[in-house]
Amino acid sequence: MRSAVNTPFPVSHGSAAQRIESELRRLIVALELPPGVRLSESDIAERHGVSRQPVREALIGLARTRLVEIQPQRGTVVVKISVRKMMEARFVREAIETAVVRRACSSFDRQSRERINDLLEMQEQAARRDDHAAFQRYDELFHIALAEGAGCPLAWEAVQDIKAHMDRVCQLTLPGPEAMLPLIEQHRTIMSAIDAKDEDNAAEAMRRHLTEILRALPQVEAEHPELFSS
Amino acid sequence: MRSAVNTPFPVSHGSAAQRIESELRRLIVALELPPGVRLSESDIAERHGVSRQPVREALIGLARTRLVEIQPQRGTVVVKISVRKMMEARFVREAIETAVVRRACSSFDRQSRERINDLLEMQEQAARRDDHAAFQRYDELFHIALAEGAGCPLAWEAVQDIKAHMDRVCQLTLPGPEAMLPLIEQHRTIMSAIDAKDEDNAAEAMRRHLTEILRALPQVEAEHPELFSS
DNA sequence: TAGTGCATACTACCATACAAGCGTCGACCA
DNA sequence: TGGTCGACGCTTGTATGGTAGTATGCACTA
């Protein structure tokens, strides 16, 4: 069994379908499979050394989260980024996560609180060495720990798919440590408000955090129009 | 193209997998497939006259929304109702839908507003003739129209899976018109607040509405303990 | 030259067959 | 009689073959 001490990434799941889905999701979020490219069941199956069936199940899973679009009898493509839908996604995510931090102000699990400190530290290290993948993974773990600490792990599930799309945008807007470090500072601001049990400040800090993430969206759309839908 | 004037239910989707998934979801939400029962790919395939593959894909889809649990190499069961998770689900749904109605107070699509009036009327008729399925379907269409009218259809997608679980509880708590009609009145209260552009009242009305839905949850747990997880 | 119909090569989709893992029941043994 | 081991039947998971539908490009026509 592979050790995971040096990486925040979990080992691959059980079935081949789940493995491939995770792998494809990673590639899509990292924009290594850019929006618009066609995905062929046969190609992917061959590349991964499995049959087409598990690949098909993986693509169905990705289609459910709107990361790919399966066009019946035609093909499967990585969906392009829609500014409108990103704005809607931010709205929904803001609604959920501001509610979570408000709840966190009432009571927060001590163990999760300590874990978050560790996560923030490791996320900062990832940012300083310009490691996007690790940065985003620790960001994910931060929001997971937040939801769990607030006693609402189900909230994470609702945010998960939305976050995947936003992370795809972040891949374009976070070109270096100087762009990542402020986000970590925002995380710390959120936690300070939670520690102080200041609901309004915590919610506002989260709101600003999520707004900030998509601030540069119009700019990257101008720079990479081929990645966006009309 | 089949007319749908006499039924709020859409015609079945394209692929066999989607058809079966919709059918199974309907049966599960209606508690005709009660929590705890085992689902066999072979049985369902035979019953629907298809092979195991589309059934398998349908079950994977249902597992993603946590309506069934696939136990690898063992079997697939309809998940039992968890009071704790239902409370979390209500929390998340409340966060999203209160945000939606607040947004609706700022601007609301006129066409959607008119459609909601029709939906409420039809939902009331369904309640009076004690038609649970139609009642819940119109309830769904109400919340869809609400999200669309507020300009955030993506919010519905986030709520959809949560609502499916809550509807399963409603199947137990809404035994007659006298239980359904008050919910429609709550819908009307929400719309009145939106028409008056009163954000706080609209959000509070939505909050009370969603709280009301699960009010009888402890009671039904006592009456049907076999449907609930420990 | 512009336009139309057809052959072809691709796709997703479904059916069938096989493999692998888990639980259960029964035979066998102490 | 109590306990242990093993074979069988069930499940999900994977591989492979075949089908139907769509886009594309080429030959043919006006």
A130: region left, alpha or beta (phi > 0 left; psi from -120 to 50 alpha) = left
Q: What is the mean pLDDT of each run of 10 residues along chain B (230 residues)?
A: 45 80 95 95 93 94 95 94 96 98 96 96 93 93 96 95 94 84 95 97 97 92 92
Measure the CA–CA gap between A145 and A29, rounded to whole angstroms.
Answer: 21
User: Is the predicted pLDDT of residue A13 greater than 70, yes or no?
Assistant: no
Q: What is the mean pLDDT of residues A87-111?
A: 97
CA A183 – C1' C25 distance (Å)? 60
Q: How confident is the model at residue A9 (pLDDT cuts 50, 70, 90)?
A: low
Q: Give the nucleotide nearest to B43 (CA→C1').
A: D11
Q: Which of A167, A221, A128, A212 is nearest to A31 (CA)?
A: A167
Q: Do B61 and A60 touch (CB under 8 A)?
A: yes
**pLDDT value at residue A1:** 33
**pLDDT value at residue A58:** 93
Which nucleotides on strand C sit less than 7 A from a protein beta carbon? 10-17, 20-23
Q: What is the mean pLDDT of residues A199-226?
A: 94
Q: Do A158 and B158 touch (CB under 8 A)?
A: yes
Query: Is the Cβ–Cβ distance between A1 and A11 less than 8 Å?
Result: yes
Q: Of residues A105 and B10, which shows the higher confidence score?
A: A105
Domains of chain A by start residue, with CATH: 16-78 (1.10.10.10), 83-222 (1.20.120.530)
Distance, in angstroms, between B185 CA and closest chain A CA?
A: 25
Long-range contacts made by residues A59-66, C-beta under 8 angstroms, separation at least 24? A59/A24, A60/B17, A60/B57, A60/B60, A60/B61, A61/A17, A61/A21, A61/B60, A61/B64, A62/A21, A62/A24, A62/A25, A62/A28, A64/B61, A64/B64, A65/A161, A65/A164, A66/A161, A66/A165
Q: What is the mean pLDDT of residues A115-130?
A: 94
Give pLDDT tens digits for A25-39: 999 999 999 999 999
User: Is the predicted pLDDT of residue A42 greater than 50, yes or no?
Assistant: yes
User: Is the predicted pLDDT of residue A15 greater than 90, yes or no?
Assistant: no
| Strand D contact at CB of residue B70, distance < 7 A | yes
How many alpha carbons lie under 13 Å from residue A147 in its C-beta half-sphere? 21
Phi/psi of residue A30, nearest 5 degrees: -80, 0
DSSP B81: B
**pLDDT value at residue A5:** 37
Q: Do A53 and B57 touch (CB under 8 A)?
A: no
Q: Give the nucleotide nearest to B70 (CA→C1').
A: D12
* Structure token digits, residue A203: 């919610």
**pLDDT value at residue A224:** 93
Alpha helix locations (H) across A75-216? 83-106, 110-128, 132-149, 153-173, 177-195, 199-213
Q: What is the mean pLDDT of residues A86-99?
A: 97
